[in-house]
Structure 1
């Protein structure tokens, strides 16, 4: 039975005057988006490598394992890719540091007669079924930490010393960094291939159109289909520039932005 993605189109763009810490990869039956989890001010995270190095290596390992180990589960593949990226560091980095750089992850693939997805940290997978209904998968546990001390209420940031106690820890939040067990904490889902029309994979530099600027997922899919994923990024830049209180939210005024639109064939066989 052949259940390949019929088409995957994407766009990725750095925030103004910065390096792009997002990554996209795709194969015959899978696609992924990574969003680099950067360093906290004044903290090295025990690592000498830039975040771009982290996401590049993790993306390459994921791409290889999704292609070669296609019978394995998505958490297995992500854990294996994290281990392989850890091995790339060598002795120059202290991988025991809980603030080691990492990435948010969104993976989508077809396997047999199913569409499967995995989300870890603040990337998103949004699946549209044949009736136009949307299943939205965003891992927002970092925004719901119990009794979290807020350093700056205007942008809801957390002190790095606090983050070190809850990052990749039970009851906290999880990223793809130096704890392979984080893969088992990812949000997972699946649906029959015959029921799914298309999907969007986005970094949070794109989902802010919905989360901050009042867009609907229906509008997101319409623009992506009519004008391509780059149009979503253009709309993000326009909306961020026009908003009077853009620093109201935790995070950057502008962010790296990546969007991938995946359309599906029906099963053949």
Structure 2
């Protein structure tokens, strides 16, 4: 999509065509042409055990993502952390009467939000999705919430260990679930608009190109998206996943994951 000098591209591909895509992505460009926002969520797939909720992860990401999309554009008086807190509260209110929101595996998601105006670019990252920021000179900075990556691998030996000791707790990592206070844990910042040329947001299913398969660094990943488009990145990740599955010792984790990329030239 192009509006004036701005160009955006978005792709979101399920890891398994037989399962609903648990990611969410949107780009908001007001008719005024003044500013905009992007939102990317990666829903956390629950284990087979009960989550205490009647609703699916796609239901949750659609609700939370929709609230973030609207509030990031309509409530410019709020910081992005405040916007996230309000969106989490609104989503929780939509199902607190029917569901146990205190359950550790209540529906939840990682979050990337970026918002721009004539003078500034604001960003927020919570958990292991990524935001790549390109300067006018071509330098690429990865904005990451790396708390999950910094945990000892022994601590991630089982889903039960993650739920019981690490998820949304001090010393662990944080995702957007039902507690608005988690918004204060996000990585946030503001840059002058003149220092930002392009934004690229990725869920970890697309970020596997860097983090799991080591095809290049974040700058290389950005270059692939810019030159060949988001589809090229996702297609290459799928090729690498298939090759990995055929290997003698496949890696831990899902063979394929939902993969979402949003690219925005400001």
The alignment's TM-score, normalised by the length of structure 2, stands at 0.88
2:255 alignment partner in structure 1: 253
Q: CA deviation at 1:263?
A: 0.6
Mapped to 2, the partners of 1:58 and 1:98 lie a distance apart of 18
Kept in 1, the 8 Å contact 2:156–2:162? The answer is no
Superposed structure 1 runs of 4+ greater than 4 Å apart? none
Superposition pairs of residues 1-269 of structure 1, within 5 angstroms? 6-16=6-16, 17-28=18-29, 29-42=36-49, 44-145=50-151, 149-151=155-157, 158-213=158-213, 214-243=215-244, 244=247, 247-249=250-252, 251-264=253-266
Runs of 5+ in structure 2 lacking a partner? Answer: 30-35
Q: Please, what is the CA RMSD of the aligned residues?
A: 2.0
Alpha-carbon deviation of 1:92? 1.6
Deviations 1:210-232 (A, max 9, x none): 11222233332233223321111
Q: Measured at CA, do residues 75 and 237 of structure 1 come closer, stay the same or move farther in structure 2, by a change above 3 Å?
A: same
| Residue correspondences, number | 253
Please tell me whether the aligned partners of residues 132 and 222 of structure 2 are also in contact (alpha carbons under 8 angstroms): no
Instruction: Return the offset for 1:5.
Output: 8.3
Deviation at 1:130, TM superposition (A): 1.7
Alpha carbons 1:86, 1:178 under 8 Å: kept: yes
Q: With a CA cutoff of 8 Å and minimum separation of 6, indicate the structure with the bigger relative contact order.
A: 1
Q: Go from structure 1 to structure 2 and tell me whether the alpha carbon gap of 1:162 and 1:123 turns closer, same or farther (over 3 Å shift).
A: closer
Report the alpha carbon displacement of residue 147 of structure 1 after superposing the two structures with TM.
8.9
Instruction: Please list the CA deviations of residues 101-136 of structure 1 after superposition, one character each: whole Å capped at 9, or x if unmatched.
Output: 200001111134111110001111010112221111
